Amino acid sequence: MRPVEFTSEEIIAAGEALLSIGRNVTGFALRQRVGGGDPKRLKQVWDEHVAKRSTTEAAPVAELPTEVAEEVAAVTKALTERISALAVELNDKAVKAAERRVAEVVRAAGEQREQAERELADASQTVEDLEAKLDEAKAEAASLAQRLAEVQAQAQTQAVEAAQLKERLAAAEKSARAAQEQRTADLARANSDLESERKRHDQEASKLRAEVEARRGELATVKAKAETTEQTHQENRKQAAQEAHRVAERLAAVKTERDTARNDVSNAREESARLRGQVEALEKQLAVLARGSGSGESREKIAGRVQTKKDA
């Protein structure tokens, strides 16, 4: 046997709630109120509650004392005659009571019929509500099924796109690795070329520094020669001045020698200035090469220009 789903207290509370809102207490109304259960059992529990509430318990009768019993017996004897007299009256009242009972039975039958009609109306309303809920559930199920189909189709499309993206990603990674390897190789070659170029520049710079040092030595020699010439010129002038008053006939020759010495000194100064400019130009070119700055001229051209200056 299936266990009771709702207790009597819950059913009675539901019936009281229906009465409080002015509704009739029927089996289907109680079922709708409590949320389930057998309408017949719900109505039976409610009817038992109403019957118990209207029934008063009889108090136990205690035995009469002796004196009271004798008094009752006397009164009973006295009342016997009265009871006989009342029999007719009681019979009449019984008949009338039976008639009233019949009327009450008829009225109760009508009330039960009306109660049954109300329960039938509640049952019909409940059935309509359930059918409406069923229709809503069917519509919702159809909508969910359609949504499920759409989601499955979308998932399938996304799976295909994901596979394509994976393939493109793998190809891109392969291409990136090849490009990275190529860049690494190019960088290694560039570093090797740069190192070779640096060594070549260092060698050329060393040669240029040696040439500059040689030019500096030549310049020092020229400077010494110029200084010696200047000193000799001064001595000659001094001697010429001292001997001018003694050697008049040699004046023309001394003047010629003096002019020649002056020309030599002037030429020596010009040569010294020219050599000094060449050395400074060579030092600037050497600095440019040492910084690795391209000037548009190769080292071979610069070396040729230096050699040309040497020859000059």
Would 101 be classed as within a structural domain? yes
CA angle in degrees (0–180, nearest 5) for 238-239-243: 120
| Residue 149 identity (one-letter amino acid) | A
Q: Which residue has the tokens 């008063």?
A: 56
Q: Is 283 contained in some domain?
A: no
Asked whether the beta carbons of 14 and 30 are under 8 A apart, the reply is yes
Give domain status of residue 111, yes or no.
yes
Residue 30 domain-assigned?
yes
Does residue 24 sit within a domain?
yes
Interatomic CA distance for residues 73 and 81, integer angstroms: 13
Q: 215: how many CB neighbours lie within 10 A of its CB?
A: 19
Output the pLDDT for position 44: 94
Note whether 289 and 200 are within 8 A (CB): no
pLDDT for 88: 66
Per-residue pLDDT of the chain (312 residues; tens, 9 = 90+): 454 578 999 999 999 999 999 999 999 999 999 988 899 999 999 999 999 887 644 444 456 677 777 787 788 878 777 776 776 676 677 667 767 876 786 688 678 878 877 877 777 788 778 878 888 888 888 888 888 888 888 878 888 887 888 888 888 788 878 888 888 888 788 778 878 878 887 888 688 788 768 878 887 886 888 688 778 768 877 876 777 677 677 777 768 888 887 888 788 888 878 888 888 888 888 888 877 655 445 555 655 665 665 565
Q: What is the pLDDT of residue 304?
A: 64
Residue 193 lies in a domain: no
What pLDDT does 232 receive?
A: 79
Does any domain span residue 28? yes
Range of 93's domain? 8-53+71-137
Q: Has this prediction a pTM greater than 0.75? A: no
Report the domain count for the chain.
1
d(CA 236, CA 225): 16
Res 1: pLDDT: 45
Q: What are phi and psi of 35, to 5 degrees?
A: 95, 20
CB 286 within 8 A of CB 208: yes
DSSP string over 30-94: HHHHHT-S-HHHHHHHHHHHHHHHHPPPPPPPPPPPHHHHHHHHHHHHHHHHHHHHHHHHHHHHH
User: What integer pLDDT is reported at residue 57 of this predicted model?
Assistant: 46
The three-point CA angle 217-230-222 to 5° equals 15
What pLDDT, on a 0 to 100 scale, did the predictor assign at position 56?
A: 45
Tokens 């009271």 belong to residue: 68
Are 25 and 15 a contacting pair, CB within 8 Å? yes
**SS3 at position 7:** coil
